[in-house]
Amino acid sequence: MKIRVINGPNINMLGIREVNIYGSENYDTLIASIKDKCLKEGIEVECFQSNHEGRLIDYIQSCYFEKVDGIVINPAGYTHTSVAILDALKAIKIPTVEVHISDVDSREEFRKVSYVSLYALKTIKGEGIKGYLHAIDILKEHYENIQK
Q: What is the pLDDT along the chain (148 residues), one digit of tens a residue?
A: 999 999 999 999 988 776 666 667 899 999 999 999 999 999 999 999 999 999 999 999 999 999 999 999 999 999 989 999 999 999 999 999 999 998 877 666 666 789 999 999 999 999 999 999 999 999 999 999 998 7
Distances in Å between the Cα of 23 and the Cα atoms of 49, 104, 123, 132 are: 18, 14, 19, 14
Strands 44-49 and 70-74 turn out to be: unpaired
**56/37 Cα distance (integer angstroms):** 24
**Terminal CA-CA length for the chain:** 14
Which 3-state string (H, E, C) describes 97-108? EEEECCCHHHCC
User: Pick the catalytic residue: 22, 59, 115, 119?
Assistant: 22
* 22 among known catalytic residues: yes
Are 100 and 23 within 8 A, CB to CB? no
CA pair distance 83, 95, nearest whole angstrom = 18
pTM greater than 0.75: yes
Active site residue 59: no
Question: Which one of 100, 115, 119, 132 is the catalytic residue?
Answer: 100
